[in-house]
Amino acid sequence: MPVTLTWRRAAVVGLAATLLVPLSACGNDTKNEASGAKAGPSDSAAPKAGLTVLAAASLTDVFKTAGAAYEKENPGTKITFSFAGSQELAAQVKQGAPADALVTADTKTMDGLRADTGAPTIIATNRLVIATADGNPKKVENLKDLADPKLKVVLAAPEVPAGRYSRQILDAQNIDVKPVSLEPSVRAVLSKVELGEADAGLVYKTDAEAAPDKVDAVEIPDDQNAIAEYPAATIEDSKNPAAAAAFVKWLSGPEAQKILQDAGFQKP
């Protein structure tokens, strides 16, 4: 019988305090449009508006850069990003939190919000790596090493996309891991490793690349890995549907795609 991943029960956190990053933007006037056409000053016809974009925690760094680029290209509209685990963002949408667009780290979470969002578009993909302390002092080389009972491993909770991906790849390799904690977001996993509270953790490749001086990344072979897809969609209750649709469309365009790929994300 294959040995499955052992998960400890973890209380699901409530709505996390939102991290607000003010930026500016505007867009065109076609709702739920998400083609790869570039949105710029020449084709931007949407009225100036304030936008709130809910985004997966793993997009924190790259969306700050992307938002600044969009602000420069489309002056006059303010964007506020709120970053958290995808499951927390979904809860906010279902509870009617005011927002205009949503980007999650998996299609399952977005699919559960079909009544609340426009048609989603995959804007990027990602893969998992094993994050270790700088210099990899425990000499972690592969997924099997995570089963060592002497190793303090931290994972994202199963409700979190990164947690589901982690369980998927560990189960596929019949690896039994007993994590010392289950975290509410992939960034919380990364933080545990950075602070020395864990020897290793499974995070997205882009998370490890965002902290090159604090963690090392042990690559996981493609045939043992999982592909994380990032869908973006407008929110049906948006008070600024034209501007929201323009931003979602822009995320599939060449400028946003270059920013995402420069940060380590892969093509949709």
**What integer pLDDT is reported at residue 15 of this predicted model?**
35
Based on the domain organization, do 197 and 147 belong to the same domain?
yes
The DSSP bridge partners found for residue 78 are 24
> What is the rounded average pLDDT for all residues in the chain?
86
Based on the domain organization, do 189 and 95 belong to the same domain?
no
The least confident of 19-33, 195-209, 214-228, 242-256 is 19-33
Per-residue pLDDT of 13-29, as tens digits, reads 333 333 344 443 333 43
Residue 10 is assigned to a structural domain of this protein: no
Based on the domain organization, do 119 and 62 belong to the same domain?
yes
Based on the domain organization, do 97 and 167 belong to the same domain?
no
pLDDT band at 48, cuts 50/70/90?
confident
Structural domain span for residue 155: 127-227
Based on the domain organization, do 98 and 191 belong to the same domain?
no
Residue 9 is assigned to a structural domain of this protein: no
Based on the domain organization, do 158 and 117 belong to the same domain?
no
Task: Name the 3-class secondary structure at 97.
Answer: coil
State the CATH number of the domain containing residue 93. 3.40.190.10
Residue 12 is assigned to a structural domain of this protein: no
Q: Where are the alpha helices (DSSP H) in the chain?
A: 60-73, 86-94, 107-111, 161-172, 186-194, 205-209, 241-251, 254-262
Residue 26 is assigned to a structural domain of this protein: yes
Q: What are phi and psi of 80, to 5 degrees?
A: -115, 120
Per-residue pLDDT of 57-101, as tens digits, reads 999 999 999 999 998 888 887 899 999 999 999 999 999 999 999
Based on the domain organization, do 24 and 80 belong to the same domain?
yes
- For the chain, give the percent of residues with pLDDT over 70: 82
pLDDT band at 49, cuts 50/70/90?
confident
Average pLDDT over residues 138-155: 97
Residue 2 is assigned to a structural domain of this protein: no
pLDDT band at 56, cuts 50/70/90?
very high
Based on the domain organization, do 169 and 132 belong to the same domain?
yes
200-231 in b/e burial notation, b at 16+ Cβ within 10 A?
A: bbbbbbbbbbbbeebbbbbebeeeebbebbbb
What is the domain count for the chain?
2
| Whether the predicted pLDDT of 1 surpasses 70 | no
Based on the domain organization, do 244 and 220 belong to the same domain?
no
Based on the domain organization, do 111 and 203 belong to the same domain?
no
Contact 5, 171 (CB under 8 A): yes
Average pLDDT over residues 207-213: 92
Encoded tokens for 192: 């545990």
pTM: 0.81
Based on the domain organization, do 47 and 169 belong to the same domain?
no
Beta-carbon count within 10 A of 22 CB: 11
Distance CA 206, CA 107 (A): 18
| Whether the predicted pLDDT of 185 surpasses 80 | yes
Based on the domain organization, do 58 and 115 belong to the same domain?
yes
Distance CA 38, CA 208 (A): 30
Residue 6 is assigned to a structural domain of this protein: no
Beta-carbon count within 10 A of 74 CB: 24
